[in-house]
Structure 1
Amino acid sequence: IDSLLMGFGLADDRMHSPNEKFEVRCFENGIKSHVALLDRMARGVGT
């Protein structure tokens, strides 16, 4: 099974720590990236 992991957090987000954070800007950029990826996959770009 082919898989793809896309991370959008920053090095200082401290994921899974008591004081973790995730900037809205990163969340929005992640959404845009996923939309672009799904669009390219649907059109068969890069195959």
Structure 2
Amino acid sequence: MYKLDGGLDHILVDEAQDTSPAQWEVIRLLSDEFFAGDGAREALDGD
């Protein structure tokens, strides 16, 4: 298991259409830091 307390720079979700609700919740919890505070940004790309 990797140590995550240093923060995350990116989250990549491959095959997002196959992601379960429980997995989306984990992604949401990990990504909360990206969407908080000044300068929060969101980048989405889909095929």
Fold-level similarity (TM above 0.5): no
Flag the structure with more relative contact order, 1 or 2, with Cα contacts below 8 A and sequence separation at least 6. 1
Q: Which has the higher helix share?
A: 1
> Larger Cα Rg: Structure 1 or Structure 2?
1
Normalised by the length of structure 2, the TM-score is: 0.32
